[in-house]
Amino acid sequence: MSAPHLPKVAGIDPEVPVSTQTAAPLREIPAAPGAFIQDRLAGWVSDLTTLHELTERLAATATLDAALNELLHAGAALVGARRGLLVLERAGSTTPSTTLGLGLGPADLGHLETVERSATALGRILDGPPEAADARDGIATPDLLGNQDLDPRHREVATRLGYAASYALPLASEAAGRLGGAVWLYDEPGEPSEKQRHLVGLYARYATEHLARLTELERARADIATVAEELLPSRLPRIPGVRLAARHRTGPQGGGDWYDALPLPDHALGLAVGSVGGSGPSAMAAMGRLRASLRAYAVMEGEDPVAVLSDLELLLRLTEPARTATALFAYCEPAARKVVLAGAGHTPPLVLGDRRCEYVETTLSAPLGMLACWEAPSVEFSPAPGETVLLYTDGLLRRTGDAMDRAFARLHSAAASVPKADRHDPAAVTDHVLRAMLPDGLDRSDSTEDVVVLAAHFD
């Protein structure tokens, strides 16, 4: 007859015999078996948090220069270095390389450039095949000065700059390829740990993708700016009695703001500014067509600005009925100090001199393409000797971020504050107005607005 089975209790198996021997008393309490795992998990969480914060900071950069600086600083923090050097140089590209230093001045970078590239770890990464193992995993040189095979010039430069070890890493990924490389310099012999190498490698691969996107974006912006500049006057004409200056900035997507200055018969001068609705290549192409048409009409009947804009409106309505535009055309006789102008939905010019700073009173009119037949009376005024007529597009006002009435008041204040010593120089006048209106600079990359300012100073 078999022995009865004991009932099962949670955590106890009745089938396992119980030892009859008494265990020896514990002299030390052993560490919990999960403490080691908990420490490892805490370390991983800390590393991932650090990596997440660094990649978020990198993703927030909107320009290539800002991203390169952030990459150098973050990489130095990850590998425990104080200084570094980054070279952006896509393999097989004709684009000039970009070099950036962390904790290295221009003279230090110059010394580093005197070392033959093949003698440095960064040079081997940049010039070697992308599939090489050291190009993927980085190259650590824990004791530069202790290396008997070190290039003499490299030893001299390392001694001069005071670094004793380096760690070089490629900026490469499967999608973007190899964009360049970075090297971080240590003041004392040493090298990053395996964990540090792993983290900086993950960060570098993410940074490479971000740099590739920014590189393509900046190349597209540069192409747009080049096309926009080619659509505008390559130089301003020289007309006796008047001096000209212009400033123009195209938005990152390409816009339709434009200006023109062309000599007309009988020593006259035609000045024009305008804006085509929309942005991108389509708006830029329409701007080019509109400017070319206005030049033709101005040569034929420039002394009548109303006729010029009426012809332009008719052409726009017939050829591009879905598009609108604003324009202002001024017919100037510098010898007689006479200006006749007409505007179609455009901002009024500003006259600046020693005795006045005021907007020209123009009649209110609709933009081109808004009405079945456009016509508005012209306005005639006489600038005094030494006065400057300032023409501009509304992008200058919108770039300030203020309401339009406050932006107009701000422009008036900026023009009135031009120092008297600069009021006879149209270039100085435009630069002062732009600095006062846009303290962050004309080339701020986060603004989508075009800006045009055209100044005519009458002697």
CA-based end-to-end distance of the chain: 129
The per-residue pLDDT for 6 is: 43
Alpha carbons 193 and 258: distance in angstroms, whole number: 57
Among residues 380, 377, 232, the alpha carbon closest in space to that of 309 is found at: 377
Residue 88: exposure state from Cβ atoms within 10 A (0-12, 13-18, ≥19): buried
**Alpha-carbon torsion angle 57, 58, 59, 61, nearest 10:** 90
Q: Which residues contact 125 (CB under 8 A, 6 or more apart)?
A: 134, 135, 138, 139, 168, 169, 170, 181
The per-residue pLDDT for 319 is: 87
Alpha carbons 109 and 86: distance in angstroms, whole number: 11
Alpha carbons 428 and 147: distance in angstroms, whole number: 58
Domains of the chain: 61-223 (3.30.450.40), 232-458 (3.60.40.10)
**Could you say which residues of the chain have pLDDT below 70?**
1-34, 36, 91-96, 130-136, 252-254, 371-375, 442-447
Q: With the C-alpha atoms ordered 110, 112, 118, 119, is the resulting torsion angle positive or negative? A: positive
Query: Exposure pattern of 323-334 as b/e (b: 16+ CB <10 Å)?
Result: bbbbbbbbbbbb
Which CA distances in Å does 172 have to 56, 100, 191?
Answer: 19, 17, 21
315 — phi, psi (to 5°)? -65, -45
Residue 166 bridge partners (DSSP) = 141, 185
Between vectors from CA 224 to CA 221 and to CA 225, what angle results, nearest 5°? 85
The per-residue pLDDT for 373 is: 64
Residue 436 CA to its chain's centroid (Å): 21
According to DSSP H, which parts of 82-132 are helical? 106-113, 121-127
